[in-house]
Amino acid sequence: MHLGFIGLGHLGKAIAGRLLDCGHTLTVFNRTPAKAEGMAVEVAPSPLTVLGKAEIIFLCLFDSMAVHSILTREDGLLAGDLAGKIIVDLSTNHFKEVARFHALCKEAGGLYIEAPVLGSVVPASQGALTVLAGGDRQGYESVRPVLENIGKHIFYLAEPALATKMKLINNLTLGSFMATIAEALSLGEEVGLTKEEILEILAVGGGNSLVLNAKKGKLLAEDFSTHFSNALIYKDLHCLQDLAYEHKKPLFTGAITKELYARTFAEGIDQEDFSAVYKLFKKS
């Protein structure tokens, strides 16, 4: 199948690569075209050009502001004929904005499927992400075979914005687990244990988790090349706080964890992998 794909950041490029590996062909757009170098894809000059090439267009962007721009700019997706088109948004959006995106695309005659994913670069390249899909049921069924190329687990939550809310809730555990593992590692080193010892014991003890399994190698090597950045987890936790505020629910661990990741901006490590939160504890 020929697909459109917009957004070749760390995650987007891994997902696009997986779709290519599965035999699909792609027309892509990225603000920085050079990010498509080395990929067997057609590079489009605008989102509108992508719309003209494919019936299904994937978005994988940093935040809701970026998604809104791709939709509404002069040469954006809404500038074309959306009849019969399905926009599949893999981005983690603000829950209020994603509701607007559903409405905008419906008004233009197309379908918008929110499909935020759980997992990062490595599972994306293996087709092992978890996909949380929401929106029109018929549209979802149409794109499900392609979603199965990138997702090992797929959950359909029909109500608009519900999938996005669940993604934010998931990232409460993601960010909190990572911060706790990082703090435990730093304290263990302080009392005289080696990294290897600490992480091996945590892996069969209270720290056993997908997060530790995914980030153990990075922590051992202190290789914080980006799979999922501090800036992204901070953005997601900010959206989560808005969700808790709307429901008048306290968010104790989420608030503290968000401020830890806020500190990465002051330390100049906001674009590093979110496992680099370890640096904050090691420094202190």
- Per domain, the residue ranges of the chain are 2-159, 164-283
pLDDT in tens, 65-111: 999 999 999 999 999 999 999 999 999 999 999 999 999 999 999 99
Residue 99 C-alpha from the chain's centroid: 18
pLDDT at 30: 97
Residue 195 CB neighbours (<10 A): 17
pTM: 0.95
Interacting residues of 280 by C-beta distance below 8 A, sequence separation 6+: 182, 260, 263, 264, 267
Tell me yes or no: is domain 164-283 CATH 1.10.3720.10: no
The single-letter code of the amino acid at 164 is T
Q: Are 29 and 49 in contact (CB under 8 A)?
A: yes
Residue 284 has pLDDT above 80, yes or no: no
- Of 235, 228, 232, 219, which Cα lies nearest the Cα of 282? 219
Tell me yes or no: is domain 2-159 CATH 3.40.50.720: yes
Handedness of CA 243, 246, 250, 252 (dihedral sign): positive
pLDDT in tens, 222-252: 999 999 999 999 999 999 999 999 999 999 9
- Of 79, 149, 81, 78, which Cα lies nearest the Cα of 115? 149
**Interaxial angle between packed helices 162-190 and 252-266, expressed in degrees from 0 to 180 and rounded to the nearest 10:** 70
- Of 171, 164, 169, which Cα lies nearest the Cα of 230? 171
